[in-house]
Chains A and B, each alone.
Chain A
Amino acid sequence: MPKSDTKNSNNMNKENKTTPTKKIEELQTHKERKTVLMQGNEAVAYGALDAGCNFFAGYPITPSTEIAEILAAELPKRGGVFVQMEDELGSICAVIGASLAGAKALTATSGPGFSLMQEGIGFARSTETPCVVVDVQRVGPSTGMPTSCAQGDIQQSRWGTHGDSPAIVLYPDSVKESYELTIRAINLSEKYRTCVILLLDEVLGHMREAVRLPDMANVRVISRIKPTVPPQWYKHYENTEKYPSPMYSFGEGYRFHVTGLTHDVLGFPTNKPNEAAEMMSKLKKKITYNIRDLVQIESFQMEDAKIAVFAAGITARSAKAAVTLARKEGIPAGLLRPLTIWPFPDDAVRKMLRNVDTVIVPELNQGQLIREIERLVKDRSDSKLIKIQRVDSKLIPPQDILQKIKEGI
């Protein structure tokens, strides 16, 4: 990010009478990293900036528009590019184009836009081009309730695009964590050269919490590394087993081809079965061989828990309150929360199932999370699964979960 040393106080000439709007001035105060009241979407925007994001292409959609608004003000100051495209299709494509040209590119949308971006997400995964899509979920299906909360895109973030392409999807449950996971999403996208999706809940995107962002010094940022081979030996899709695998961008002296067609190691289209198999296995292994690095979970009071709650995002906060209340009443309850929703934390859930006989799965949809637990509980007949599903746009209060915990014991 090019440093700009022009101090703006004295040279405010008549011409740019239009001083920035109040909101932007208020945002500028965050420079000194003191504790501020920050909105979830804001945290995502600042996470992106701190992770080195220098390109945003997006389209207005409630409840993620604040991310675009903030980046529209902050990116130009850092020499980055902000563009509001004509639709979400243009947004994801501009993001991938910029990434191929070397940018750290990100877009933010919500349900309807997320559906439009699926083909682009598939293209990014197939061509192994780093980018991040932030999906601030809202009540669906279709236009649904734009300002109300739901967790209905969980399976879409995994299976939304056609064809087999493994996904990396992160899921924060607080404003601070939104900041942290945005940085982690950009880092993972650069490291594993794929499209990483960040799921937020509408409530999280819009609510404000007191947050003190870490100083830049201790923000760990990963960027793609440059190959050392001479141009004629450069293979854009070399299977390096080790990540980040070196990658060039357009305009850096290495001319290569990128296509949405199934490609060979060089990037040219191929119809050969063995090369197609090789490409597909590389895309898969990139995720399955690095589960340990990718999966992050929070286990809260699970050490001696007899009954556990498995929840993600905003619902996990109610679950944590319920677990705390249950503990006060002497009930050995615990919470397991995935920060990485895909690849799904199978091992952590299996471990939980071994020493816990009842699992409660509260979620703001009609069973998108619980089906993953059912998949893992199949071979263990004695575990009991209790579901709490709510799709009336209201959040699940801790009392509802507490009541199920009591029933479950």
Chain B
Amino acid sequence: MPTIPQKIIHEYLRHDKKFPHVWCAGCSNGIVLGSIIRAIAGMNLDRNDIVMVSGIGCSSRMPVYVDFNTLHTLHGRAIAFATGIKLHKPHLKVIVVTGDGDCAAIGGNHLIHAARRNIDLSVIMLNNNIYGMTGGQVSPTTPHKAYATTAPYGNIEPDFDVCKLAIGAGATYVARTTAFHTQETQNMVKEAIEHPGFALIEVICACPVIYGRLNKKGGAPEMMKEMRDNSIPLAAVDKLPPEKVQGKIIRGVLHKDIRPEYCALYADLVKKAQALGGSE
């Protein structure tokens, strides 16, 4: 087995899988995968208790590379599958890896209801503002006026702020970061896993080969630079004058509160039912 220089990563990859992985050169998915692995490595969790669920799309090809219980489901349904797993075995740490289309377009209904229920899932949405796997179609987070293969004259639709959507639906931990800020991503993934409730992390990602080319954003380095320079930490928002904040990616833990977690509520229900009904 070739000696892979990055020791931490090496321990968590599935060695019988074909590397280099399937993502294009410069795609942020690989960077986020690295951040996720480093976050989990720092938490000394039992690997048998970690389940990584994904839907369909570029980012959803992630679970196959990592040595956990992994499940690559249907387009948009990752969160529904994860709900089933979590409810049956609440002690498992269920991480959902999904993309902007997979999570906010076709999977939107499951996203808002899982958030409403506040079930303990850590949803990591890799937002590259495009449907990459199918060649560059417009997605709910594609910026207004941006180009995509199905928006050849520029996207006329306004885009979602998925974080606000999740907060509105009841998610109790919502954070946003970019693939460039790997340390911040690691901290957020750790916090999300430890958070007893529905956690959503939106990771702004670069898709140089498709989104970058369609919108003339330059190569991977340029898109990463834009992530670095075009984003500001949440704490700085009220210090800066409004025009400095306008159009910038706001990074940080946007919302965090504690509400009863769904599996805990269900466990109480079981006790109550057994007290009332007296099971067979």
A83 with B83: CB separation less than 8 A: yes
Most buried by A among B64, B85, B113: B85
The answer on a CB contact under 8 Å between A55 and B71 is no
Cβ–Cβ < 8 Å partners of B83 in chain A: 57, 83, 85, 90, 93-94, 97
Given that A8-B275, A81-B87, A90-B80 are known contacts, is A259 also in contact with B64, CB under 8 Å in the complex? yes
Known: A93-B81, A268-B64. A8 touches B276 (CB 8 A): yes
In this complex, the member of B63, B69, B72 whose beta carbon has the largest number of chain A beta carbons within 10 angstroms is B69
Query: Are B74 and A123 within 8 A (Cβ)?
Result: yes
**A12 contact set on B, CB distance < 8 A:** 276
Q: A11-B275, A31-B280 are in contact. Are A93 and B88 (CB under 8 A)?
A: no
CB atoms of B72 and A257 under 8 A apart:
yes
Which B residues are in CB contact (< 8 Å) with A266? 16
A28, CB-defined interface residue at 8 Å? yes
Contact A90–B113 (Cβ < 8 Å):
yes
Contact of B73 among A19, A54, A123, A252 (CB under 8 A): A123
A93 to B85, CA, bound (A): 10
**Are A94 and B80 within 8 A (Cβ)?**
yes
Interface centre among A120, A123, A259, A261 (most CB of B within 10 A): A259
Cβ A98 vs Cβ B85 within 8 A: yes
Q: Given A259-B72, A269-B64, A4–B85 Cβ distance below 8 Å?
A: no
Residues A83 and B87 in contact in the complex (CB < 8 Å), given A96-B81, A251-B48: yes
Shortest distance between the CB of B253 and any CB in chain A (Å) = 27
A12 to B63, CA, bound (A): 48
B133 at interface, CB cutoff 8 A: no
Q: Is the CB of A78 within 8 A of B74?
A: no
Q: Which residues of B contact A268 (CB under 8 A)?
A: 16-17, 64
Whether A28 contacts B277 by the Cβ 8 Å rule is yes
For B82, the chain A residues whose CB sits under 8 A away are 97
CB distance from B98 to the nearest CB of A (A): 13
Interface 9-mer from A101-109, A165-173, A274-282: A101-109
Is the beta-carbon distance between A98 and B274 smaller than 8 angstroms?
no
Does B278 contact A257, Cβ atoms closer than 8 Å?
no
Query: By the criterion CB–CB under 8 Å, are B71 and A97 in contact?
Result: yes
Complex contact B84–A57 (CB within 8 A)? yes
* CB interface residues, A 52-72, toward B, < 8 Å: 54-55, 57
Q: How distant is the Cα of A103 from the Cα of B85 in the complex, in angstroms? A: 9
Interface size class of chain B, counting residues whose CB lies under 8 Å from the partner chain: 35 or more
Q: Which residue of B lies closest to A54 (CB)?
A: B88
Interface size class of A (residues with CB under 8 A): 35 or more
Contacting pair B269 A93 (CB below 8 A): no
Question: Hey, which chain B residues are within 8 Å of A76, CB to CB?
Answer: 266, 269-270, 272-274
Q: Is B70 an interface residue (CB 8 A)?
A: yes
A 35-89 contacts with B by CB, 8 A: 54-55, 57, 73, 76-79, 81, 83, 85-87, 89
The minimal Cβ–Cβ distance linking B278 to chain A, given in whole angstroms, is 5
- Contacts of B91 on A, CB cut-off 8 Å? 251
The reply to whether the CB of A24 lies closer than 8 angstroms to some CB of chain B is yes
Report if A255-B113 is in contact (Cβ < 8 Å); known contacts: A97-B80, A101-B84.
no
Q: Is the CB of A97 within 8 A of B17?
A: no
Chain A proximity of B113: nearest CB distance (Å): 4
Given contacts A123-B74, A256-B69, contact A89 B80 (CB under 8 A): yes
Contact of A97 with B84 in the complex, beta carbons under 8 Å: yes
Does A77 contact B278, Cβ atoms closer than 8 Å? yes
Nearest residue in A to B78 (C-beta to C-beta)? Answer: A93
Is B39's CB within 8 Å of the partner chain A? Answer: no
Please state if A4 and B113 are interface contacts (CB–CB under 8 Å).
no
CA distance A254 to B279 in the complex (A): 33
A20 to B84, Cβ gap below 8 A? no
Once the chains are docked, how many angstroms separate the CA of A208 from the CA of B83? 35
Q: Mark A352-389, 1 if CB is under 8 A from B, else 0.
A: 00000000000000000000000000000000000000
Report the minimal beta-carbon distance from B23 to chain A, rounded to whole angstroms.
Answer: 15
Residues of the B chain whose Cβ atoms lie less than 8 Å from the Cβ of A240? none
B74 A93 Cβ-Cβ under 8 A: yes
Contact with A along B43-59 (1 / 0, CB 8 A): 00001110101001000
Instruction: Give bound CA distance, A8 to B74, whole Å.
Output: 43
> Are the C-beta atoms of B89 and A251 separated by less than 8 Å?
yes
- Inside 8 A of A203's CB, which chain B residues have their CB? none
B160 within 8 A of A: no
Q: Which listed residue, B81, B92, B272, touches A251 by the CB 8 Å rule?
A: B92
Say how far B114's CB is from chain A's closest CB, in angstroms: 9
C-alpha spacing A93/B278, complex, angstroms:
30
CB distance from A37 to the nearest CB of B (A): 20
Q: Is B183 an interface residue (CB 8 A)?
A: no
Chain B residue at minimum C-beta to C-beta distance from A28: B277
- Closest B residue to A99 by beta carbon equals B84
B77 at the interface (CB under 8 A from A): yes
CB-based contact A250/B92 at 8 Å: yes
Whole-angstrom distance between the Cβ of B16 and the nearest chain A Cβ: 7
Q: Are B87 and A98 in contact (CB under 8 A)?
A: yes
B77 and A90 contacting across the interface, CB-CB below 8 Å: yes
Q: B84 to A77, Cβ gap below 8 A?
A: no
Q: Report yes or no: B277 in contact with A101, Cβ–Cβ below 8 A.
A: no
A250-B80 contact in complex given A4-B274, A78-B280, C-beta closer than 8 Å: no
Closest residue of chain B to A85 (Cβ to Cβ) is B80
Q: How far is the CA of A1 from the CA of B279 in the complex (A)?
A: 9
Q: Are B85 and A258 in contact (CB under 8 A)?
A: no
Cα distance, A87 to B113, chains bound together (Å): 10
Determine whether the beta carbon of A250 is less than 8 Å from that of B87. no
B261 interface contact, C-beta 8 A: no
Residues of chain B touching chain A, judged by Cβ–Cβ distance below 8 Å, are: 14, 16-17, 47-49, 51, 53, 56, 63-64, 67-74, 77, 80-85, 87-89, 91-92, 109-110, 113, 266, 269-270, 272-280
**Which 8 pairs from chain A and chain B are nearest by CB?**
A97-B84, A94-B84, A76-B273, A93-B80, A97-B81, A259-B72, A77-B279, A98-B84
